[in-house]
Amino acid sequence: MRLEDKLFLNRYQTDKHPHLRIKDREVCRHCEGKPCTFICPARVYVWNEREERIETAYEGCVECGTCRYGCAHDNIDWRNPRGGFGILYKYG
């Protein structure tokens, strides 16, 4: 089973308040390789070539925290979602 298929089995209780954010978008513009766009298993971070910025889709975050370590510039502010929000794993 592909990772995308497994992620589809999970459910999310989305909060209107994001639990992650880019601290300074200008830093991302100059980041070489943009590792956050490929290190995140849920593909929460996407480089928008036209607008030259990282876009985030926090609603699909699997809360693994990998992005905090994948950003060489410490430019991602990540916190656990507020109580009652976030991912609901199908198998624990």
Q: What is the pLDDT of residues 18-68, one digit of tens each?
A: 999 999 999 999 999 999 999 999 999 999 999 999 999 999 999 999 998
Q: What pLDDT score does 76 carry? A: 96
**C-alpha distance from residue 73 to each of 1, 33, 70, 83, 88 (Å):** 34, 12, 9, 29, 30
Number of folded domains that form the chain: 1
Q: What pLDDT score does 92 carry? A: 55
Rounded CA separation 32/10 (Å)? 32
Expressed as residue numbers, the domain containing 55 is 3-88
- CA 29 to chain CA centroid, Å, is 17
CATH number, residue 21:
3.30.70.20
